[in-house]
Amino acid sequence: MQSKAYQNIVILTGAGISAESGIRTFRADDGLWENHNIEDVATPEGYQRDPKLVHEFYNHRRHQLQQPYIQPNPAHEALANLSQHFTGNVTIVTQNIDDLHERAGVSDIIHMHGELLKVRCPHTQQTLDWREDVSAADLCNCCQFPEPLRPHVVWFGEMPLYLDRIYHQLSQTDLFISIGTSGSVYPAAGFVQEAASNGAHTIEVNLQASEISHQFKEIRQGSAGELVPALVAELLAN
Ligand code: NAD
Ligand code: APR
């Protein structure tokens, strides 16, 4: 890493940062998308065809997330430490729908692909905390003619959330760090180019080469649980 003090850091995390917490990634050999048909459980069309199946899929994932052995790992904790103690700005954007960044102590996390522990009204977009199994029969309480609640998750073909805020931060950043993402889903996969075109230094942390590794100025290959605490220590020391 360049020996300079950064002022505006943007960090993008993906499924890889939660792998060491016991949550399976999407595209590994044993990944979620190897065992489920994306078109059935992660598209608006799949939800229209069979809302019960889609709710069952997310309810199962919610119960998994609440198992006592699923806890933030040293990478989540290091990023929380950075967000609390870095003297400049730190913006953490995650593609993950789990709540491990929050549980580690990040108070302002941008969930661009939504949140597993929320549901929302498809009409007003008003979100509610998920409390128990949501079925296709549960209705919102914000509309005159109540609508069935849907998972607060961005599906394939839908617009990710908070893009204006994210692109604004990317236009200001002098250091962009991507952690544990395969770089196969846009627009998140395009953030590195956006940051680099504004002059930022760019670092990828991943177990292996991603689809977009060649776009980064610096590669740190290895597990997030080991490499992120070391990277954060460097940033806090500068
Ligand atoms: P996408 O890259 O097509 O875009 C995601 C959404 O964000 C779209 O609704 C798009 O309109 C919006 N968007 C893109 N750039 C934007 C920007 N700069 N500002 C605002 N909004 C923007 O993602 P997708 O629809 O999720 O699919 C990505 C590709 O992956 C597609 O080609 C799809 O066929 C394929 N796919 C792969 C898998 C897989 O896991 N292997 C699964 C489903 C789809
Ligand atoms: N440390 C660092 N990187 C890791 C680790 C680890 N311990 N374990 C796995 N990885 C890396 C893998 O090498 C892979 O590049 O994490 C990446 C995970 O990639 P994906 O499973 O494709 O997950 P992600 O990039 O977050 O997926 C993006 O796709 O299906 C959609 O909406 C969903 O947000 C998701 C998006």
Residue 2 lies in a domain: no
Residue 232 lies in a domain: yes
DSSP 173-237: -SEEEEES--S-STTGGGHHHHHHHTT-EEEEEESS--TTGGG-SEEEES-HHHHHHHHHHHHHH
Quote ipTM for the complex: 0.76
**By residue range, what is the domain housing residue 138?**
32-68+119-153
Judgement on whether residues 139 and 218 belong to the same structural domain of the protein:
no
Judgement on whether residues 146 and 208 belong to the same structural domain of the protein:
no
Judgement on whether residues 105 and 123 belong to the same structural domain of the protein:
no
Per-residue CA distances from 54 to 16, 47, 135, 155 (Å)? 23, 6, 9, 11
Judgement on whether residues 47 and 77 belong to the same structural domain of the protein:
no
| Whole-number pLDDT of residue 42 | 94
| Whole-number pLDDT of residue 1 | 67
Residue 3 lies in a domain: no
Kindly report the CATH number assigned to the domain that includes residue 166. 3.40.50.1220
Q: Which atom of ligand 2 is nearest to the CA of 27?
A: 21
* Residue ranges, the chain, pLDDT below 50: none
Kindly report the CATH number assigned to the domain that includes residue 53. 3.30.1600.10
Residue 27 lies in a domain: no
Judgement on whether residues 143 and 83 belong to the same structural domain of the protein:
no
Judgement on whether residues 136 and 103 belong to the same structural domain of the protein:
no
Judgement on whether residues 218 and 174 belong to the same structural domain of the protein:
yes
Assigned token pair, 86: 């870095």
Residue 81 lies in a domain: yes
Ligand 2 pocket at CB < 6 A: 14-16, 19-20, 25-27, 31, 95, 113, 180-182, 184-185, 206-208, 210, 223-225
Q: Is 98 annotated as ligand-binding?
A: yes
Residue 233 lies in a domain: yes
CA-wise closest residue to 232 among 1, 25, 18:
1
Judgement on whether residues 132 and 199 belong to the same structural domain of the protein:
no
Among candidate residues 101, 111, 113, 152, the one labeled active-site is: 113
User: pTM, whole model, 2 decimals?
Assistant: 0.87
> Count of domains in the chain?
2
Ligand nearest to the CA of 28: 2
Judgement on whether residues 201 and 224 belong to the same structural domain of the protein:
yes
CB 180 within 8 A of CB 224: yes
pLDDT in tens, 66-112: 999 999 999 999 999 999 999 999 999 999 999 999 999 999 999 99
| Whole-number pLDDT of residue 5 | 87
Indicate the top mutation candidate among 39, 159, 166, 168 to test ligand 1's pocket, ranked by most ligand atoms within 8 A of CB. Answer: 159
Can you state the angle between helices 74-85 and 224-237, rounded to 10 degrees?
Answer: 20
| Whole-number pLDDT of residue 38 | 87
Neighbours of 144 (CB within 10 A): 5
